Structure 1
């Protein structure tokens, strides 16, 4: 039994190459189709992600069901991911190649219908995302982008931005000063 746990059915190098190959293939798939997948995962997207792991499992492990084979695959996978992150973090063009760049979804209150179509983002999904981030309508948005990892960043028009505590405190102070000045003027006119 213990020998089965540690007996490899393929060489370490074949296991490593299979793991890196599948990793790169999935990376390319997610790079091509991933922005929308990462941004708003619906039930079909979830099914695809769950099935992807099952589909590629045999490509990585082959007939090898040993504990050692699984550990080798996991170590290679984590190491390949770390190496790719290191290179991406240091080389700008490589980072853009691997991770992509942000895509504008809305500019000056107008949705980019071509970008939304290309990313398969429906108007309903866009509206939900806008509402989650504090916008009531597309017209309130100066700029909205979706990043390579699927995060949607929204910049509201100046008049549509939420008020901060400092903004509110300044408004209350200004109102108080205005009212005090008016009261002083009324008292002065009564004398």
Structure 2
């Protein structure tokens, strides 16, 4: 039993490292060859887990081989446009200038039912509202609504807007994110002073804290420290 536990733990770590090296994309964002590699790696790991008669190295070496192949293919795709088209394919234009390209639907084995489902997930309920629709190489659908159906933006109204950057996390579950704190130009002492102004005695009492592009601090204390 202990042997099985150790073998499973080792293979689990190897698979996690392999998937981490492959990148941070979700399953729905993977290219077909990347998805194939991910599935094969999981299969290669499951066999030695179930059969202790198979040497552990016989499971690790194929995983590393598949990982090496995936990295090599990704590198080739990165360096060569032609190779990227061969390996990943090209985006397919399903609707162009409001006109449905029937032949493209047939070539991609993509039904109108699937297409309408994807449109609804993007809050578009009428195919007549679509100016362009592109089926990306990873299977995701990109849609450009017709001008009259797009959401109004400040630019449409000739309004000027101020710059707004994403908020920076400073404290997560009582732990200070020092690298982010340096980006803000603040220091730990200054932050602690700001916390005391809102009744929080120490960083350990904070569940989450962030600062926005205007320098405004958002902070929420842990439940046991709330009054």
Give me the TM-score of the superposition, normalised by structure 1.
Answer: 0.54
Q: Secondary structure at the match of 2:93?
A: strand
Matches within 5 A, 1:161-180: 161-164=150-153, 167=156, 170=159
Match of 2:93 in 1: 104
Q: In structure 2, what is the equivalent of residue 66 of structure 1?
A: 55
SS of equivalent residue, structure 1 residue 148: coil
Cα displacement string for residues 112-131 of structure 1 (whole angstroms, at most 9, x for unaligned residues): 11111222222111111112
* 1:135 shift after superposition: 2.1
**Counterpart in 1 of 2:75?**
86
Q: CA RMSD in A?
A: 3.3
How far apart, in 2, do the equivalents of 1:100 and 1:120 lie?
15
The structure in which a higher percent of residues are helix is 1
Q: Which residue of 2 aligns with 1:158?
A: 147
Greater shift, 102-111 or 75-84, is seen at 102-111
Q: Which runs of 5+ in 2 are unaligned?
A: 8-31, 160-227
Task: Say if 1:111 and 1:138, in contact at 8 Å, map to a contact too.
Answer: no
Q: Which has the larger radius of gyration?
A: 1
Aligned equivalents of 2:144, 2:156: Cα separation in 1: 18
SS across alignment from 1:89? helix
Residue in 2 aligned with 1:129?
Answer: 118
User: What TM-score do you get using the length of structure 2 for normalisation?
Assistant: 0.46
CA deviation profile, 1:85-114 (whole Å, cap 9, x unmatched):
011101111111111110011112222111
Q: If each structure's strand is expressed as a fraction of its own residues, which one has the higher value?
A: 2
Alignment partners' CA distance in 1, 2:154 and 2:87: 40
* 1:163 positional shift: 2.4
1:43 alignment counterpart: none
